[in-house]
Copies of this chain bind each other. A is one copy, B any other.
């Protein structure tokens, strides 16, 4: 698989379904964000104060749940816990949706913190299989400032090092650090426009932010 496409939980259900349908036939493996399930865990955490490990493990299971639900909405999508099976699903002309909990349970490669979310997890999976990472979210990419502000401008390309100075953005705080560590790039694009996601995969011009880790 050439691309890991992470479909953000904020796109679920309708935009996520439409995007996944559009990706049928492409050389991709899908990972989903934890969506409202992860939000619920965060909310409980604010109230009750769980350990970092409990939050991490529960949030990863919420990615599994979203993967199961999203794959179920699209004929031709199929869930799996393994890369081996994902390759077989791909070979059979279907689109694999990876449920990451078991791989992460065995490897446990990432910090246990809310700073590590499905963005960093999707990046880690992309490194495991030597694929590129594309994060489909509900905004056009990374902006110069809070995107609700009038002066906010979309950034076409930014270094991970520079992004680290931005504080909170549409990707998690750990991702730029991982991009630097692995000297890797990734793309952030608006999943509400499946054509943009397809354009990036096909290396044609479109709207996105590329984060460079070199």
Contact = CB atoms under 8 A, between A and B. Distances in A.
Interface stretch (A62-70, A122-130, A151-159): A62-70
Interface centre among A37, A41, A65, by most B CB within 10 Å?
A65
A50 B69 contact: yes
A41 B54 contact: no
Interface string A112-131: 00000000000000000000
Interface of A: 13, 36-37, 40-41, 44, 47-48, 50-51, 53-54, 57-58, 61-62, 64-65, 68-69, 71-73
A41 to B, nearest CB: 7
Nearest to A72: B54
A82 B13 CA distance: 33
A54 B37 contact: no
A63 B36 CA distance: 16
Contact of A37 (B13, B40, B51, B57): B40
B65 A51 contact: no
A57 B69 CA distance: 9
A73 to B, nearest CB: 6
Contacts of A62: 37, 65
A159 B64 CA distance: 39
B69 A65 contact: no
Given A13-B47, A62-B65, 12 more contacts: A13-B44, A36-B40, A37-B65, A40-B40, A41-B69, A44-B69, A50-B73, A54-B71, A54-B72, A57-B68, A58-B68, A61-B61
